[in-house]
Amino acid sequence: MMDVNVVIAGAAGEGIQTVGSIFSVAAAKCGLAVFSWQEYESRIRGGLNSYSIRISTSLKNAPRRDADVLLPLRKEARKKYRSWLNPNGLLIADEQDNTDGATEIFVPFNKIAREKWQSPIYANTIAVGALWSVIGGDFEALQVAVEDEFQGKAETVIKNNVEAARDGYLFAEKSCQGICPWKLEKRPDRFYLIAGSPAIALGSVKAGCRFMAAYPMTPATGIITFLTQHRKECKVFTEQAEDEIAAINMAIGAQFAGVRAMTATSGGGFSLMVEALSLAGMVEVPVVVVLAQRPGPATGLPTRTAQGDLLFAIHSGHGEFPKVVLAPSDPYDAFHKMVRAFNLADKYQIPIIVMTDQFLADSQFSIPDFDVELAKVETFIASPSDFSTYKRYSITASGISPRLYPGQSKYLVTADSDEHDEDGHITEDLDGVAVPMMEKRLRKLQSLRREIRPPERFFMEDDVEEVFVGWGSTRQAIFEAVEILREEGKRIGALHFTELWPLPELSSKEEFFPPKASITIIEQNATGQFASLLRRELVIRDAKSMLFYSGLPVTAQDIRRRFYGRD
């Protein structure tokens, strides 16, 4: 089975993304599963960044930090990322340097570009050609990917880039004899290559979202950018608001008027939205908020990843009101989770927070395709014909009042952020109205607990002695770690949560966890937030935490090393 991890490294603005994109597309066109992720500094130009591409014959949507092939585009990148190269790995060098002991293929892509075109502009395409040759790819597939990348440019630009790729390919091919062990065979499989942010955008479109307001904030910006770039196909009106407070209030206003609407932001922006989140809770207007996590507090590490906002999301807002917190695991899940988020928001007339993170937002995953038949859109706007009289906040056994929108009928539809009676009029009747109204809103939680889906089970067999527990985007890394450890004889299973609040209803701890198995909760924050939640809600007091908070995505090997106590 082929499983090759390629790392391209260089300075910001040096073309790493272009090189990585061409390479990823070429591999995907050959029917291989491709997973790519980037780590980059928070600056426009300068600093050293990397683009990792994992190519495999079966789905491996999990990051690796060890490189089988390392392509540094400059000397400084070689020095910084040399430690990532596996002992048997191969380095593609623009300048020969054997002082670090790496096995290298020498391809002077800058020199070739300058001599042939009197410009270094084609050096990266030469490097892509060399990289493709090293892993044993067929040149025709690369040529198609190069032509796609430069589509719309002048014919000379396309022709020169194809020629540059061929030059690099042929140069490396001569040097590869007896050194490069890989052979990339074309396969009949076809995967859809997509990152988390476009998947969230497409899921919201499928769900019937027709309005999005947001203020740009990394790593959430990709969602509104995608919807704006594809506004004709997606038919979503997008608005760049003056700040996050305005953005969420616009979304609440659109929902009040009967239009499915959303907003998206990251930590600091979500802080600003919290007051309006309570407004949505009080006026019982559905709204979907995407919270793209990054390490904080404050600006923190805006281009790195983390799972540090979980308890903040669950407890966001003043006062007490029901909300739901979801955390999709990958783009496929994100697409379907957005449909579920809009359905739940609509049904219960509450805010829904969908938690993603920089890793999920920006990484490219291979998925078979979205199963749109499974993404059922459900709407819960009431029909005016069902009423002889109408009370917007009528007290019901479920806590859910029938919802009309203004202008839909002759009935008056009210909204009041003060406590109100069933008609929506402000009240100071504490025992007669305020208490029953609070209890009405909170009764929704009872139904929500029954509707929340249980965690996904992975190798939860009778012999399990230890259970890894995770949530959100760490799914693939945890599951891969379980597979590796089971091959090494460890009796380990995993549970993975994507619906985090309220936690699903269960009768006992044993409903999820084998009675004698130890529990390790793996998450990307420094304080064990999900572990804290499980201990409190499910009374799992003996669970251990395995925490990662460097800003880099957790890998299966990270978990394995920590399991054996090696770091």
The answer to whether 338 and 206 have CB atoms below 8 angstroms apart is: yes
C-alpha distances out from residue 398 to 285, 381, 391, 444, Å: 16, 16, 15, 6
- Contacts of 224 by beta carbon, 8 Å cutoff, 6+ apart: 212, 214, 216, 238, 240, 264
- Contacts of 463 by beta carbon, 8 Å cutoff, 6+ apart: 491
The answer to whether 353 and 323 have CB atoms below 8 angstroms apart is: yes
Is 178 or 348 the better-scoring residue by pLDDT? 348
Rounded-to-integer distance, Cα 543 and Cα 469, Å: 10
Q: Is the predicted pLDDT of residue 261 greater than 90, yes or no?
A: yes
What's the whole-model pTM score?
A: 0.95
Rounded-to-integer distance, Cα 39 and Cα 20, Å: 13
| pLDDT the model gives residue 42 | 85
Query: What is the mean pLDDT of the segment spanning 436-462?
Result: 95
Rounded-to-integer distance, Cα 532 and Cα 528, Å: 6
CA atoms within 13 A on the CB side of 104: 20
Query: What is the mean pLDDT of the segment spanning 16-45?
Result: 90
| pLDDT the model gives residue 507 | 66
- Tokens representing 547 are 């925490």
pLDDT band per the 50, 70, 90 thresholds, residue 385: very high
Q: Is the predicted pLDDT of residue 443 greater than 90, yes or no?
A: yes
Amino acid at 407: G
Rounded-to-integer distance, Cα 556 and Cα 563, Å: 10
Q: Is the predicted pLDDT of residue 515 greater than 90, yes or no?
A: no
Bridge partners of residue 8, in order along the sequence: 51, 71
Q: Sheet holding 499-501: strands in order across?
A: 237-240, 211-214, 261-265, 287-293, 351-357, 324-326, 499-501
Rounded-to-integer distance, Cα 71 and Cα 128, Å: 9
The DSSP letter of residue 503 is: P
- Tokens representing 366 are 């291979």
Query: What is the mean pLDDT of the segment spanning 395-408?
Result: 98
State whether residue 499 is helix, strand or coil: strand
The DSSP letter of residue 346 is: H
| pLDDT the model gives residue 71 | 96
